Amino acid sequence: MVHVGLIPLAAGVAVSEALDAFGVRARLKWPNDLVVGEKKIAGLLAEAVSGGEGIESVVLGIGVNLTLDPVDAPATLRDTATSVRAETGRIVSPEEAAAETLARVAVWYHALAREGAAPVLAAWRARSVPWWGRPVEVRAGQSVIRGVARGVDERGALLLDLESGSRAALLSGEARELRLAGD
């Protein structure tokens, strides 16, 4: 399987395009969230299955908030989550969302297989949150890495310039932008 590490990024572009079709402009937050402003509207997980020959398959899980109403949402979600309905007033059925999303995933999967990393990375970068040159923090298990976000490499790894002067290339973790108080 070629460029397997980029499948999550390709899927993120696909979900972002599907949301466009419903009137929502979502940004991609490395590695697996889609946000509108500061609020999460969708997320995805990719799990690779490997065997003796390496990666054999990748399973994608994609979740899109379709009808969450922030007014009726639990207090813990009011400031952190949104939905297609909250952003547009439009009710999109799960079947319609799945059909649009799967159609876009197929397009980007075939583009990745046929054309390689370049088009996926260009599309992902065009839709990503504007973190480049800003301080971020990535949590991976018990580790916390802070640095200045510089982009993603040809594998989809997040590139961080560290205080030590070295560069880290992270393939997974939970990333967030660090801000000064009052920002």
**For residue range 135-169, what is the model confidence (pLDDT) as tens digits?**
999 998 899 999 999 999 999 999 999 999 999 99
Tokens standing for residue 123: 């599309």
Q: Tell me, yes or no, whether 96 and 172 share the same domain.
A: no
On whether residue 183 sits in a domain, the answer given is no
Which residues constitute the domain of residue 36? 4-127
Q: Is the pLDDT of residue 72 over 60?
A: yes
Q: What is the pLDDT of residue 141?
A: 86
> What's the CATH code of the domain at 105?
3.30.930.10
Residues constituting the chain: 183
Q: How many domains does the chain have?
A: 2
Is 182 a member of any domain? no
Instruction: With respect to residue 77, please indicate whether it lies within any of the assigned structural domains.
Output: yes
pLDDT value of position 73 = 80
Q: For residue 41, is it within any domain?
A: yes
Q: Which residues of 139-164 are buried (b: 16+ CB within 10 A; e: fewer)?
A: eeeeeebebbbbebbeebbbbbeeee
Same domain for 67 and 146, yes or no, is no
Report whether pLDDT(180) > 80.
no
